[in-house]
Amino acid sequence: MKPLPRLDFLARAPRPWAGIALCTIAAVALAAAAASAWQLQRDNRDRLAQVNERAARLLPPAPRKLTEAERVRLAQATRVAGELRAPWADLLATFEEHGKNDIGLLKLEPDAKAGLVRVTGQARNTAALFAYLRELEADPRLMHVALTTQQSERDTPGQPLRFVIQAGWRTTASAAKEVS
């Protein structure tokens, strides 16, 4: 009979060197991937900070809150700028070119905010006043021409009529559309 192999119950199992080597390689690869991801995240954060810095330099600074005094001054400046944009020279020329001999202009009171002008003047007679009014109504630069008051000045020689006319003006673009 064949002798039986001898069993050693105290012997250690052989070490799985291949498994240990594979686990070590995997741990090193994982550490390298983590380091690479961390480096990419840091680079992206730096690039984002640079882009934000450039964008902040290109954008205008945020507007600051105005004080009450600054708001009042700004409103006044806006109102004055609106009045200066009105076509004052053209308006004066418009009123002066009509009724040259029979009409005398005494006062022009413009209201740029409302787009209106009040004209105070004197006419030799009623016919001259209404002829002047018709000429102003026909002018394409004016709109809503209305005689608001008239009165005879009995104390003045020749007894002229004092009148007040109110009219709105058109901008040059809207007047050009009206004419064509």
Pull the structure tokens for residue 83: 């009045």
For the cut 70, the answer to whether the pLDDT of residue 130 exceeds it is yes
pLDDT (average), residues 46-53: 94
Q: How far apart are CA 48 and CA 42, in angstroms?
A: 10
Do residues 119 and 167 make contact, with C-beta atoms less than 8 angstroms apart? yes
Task: Give 160's pLDDT tier (boundaries 50, 70, 90).
Answer: confident
Summarised one tens digit per residue, pLDDT across range 4-28 is: 888 777 777 777 888 889 999 999 9
Mean pLDDT (the chain) is 85
The whole-number pLDDT of residue 171 equals 67
CATH number of the domain to which 153 belongs: 3.30.1360.100
CA–CA separation, 83 vs 20, rounded Å? 90
The domain in which residue 169 lies consists of 87-179
Is residue 52 a part of any domain in this protein?
A: no
CA angle 138–179–145, rounded 5-degree value: 30
Cα 131 to the center of its chain, rounded Å: 44
Query: Is residue 51 assigned to a domain?
Result: no
Whether 180 has a pLDDT exceeding 50, the answer reads no
Position 127 in a domain: yes
Does residue 18 belong to any structural domain of this protein? no
Asked if pLDDT for residue 175 goes beyond 50, the answer is no
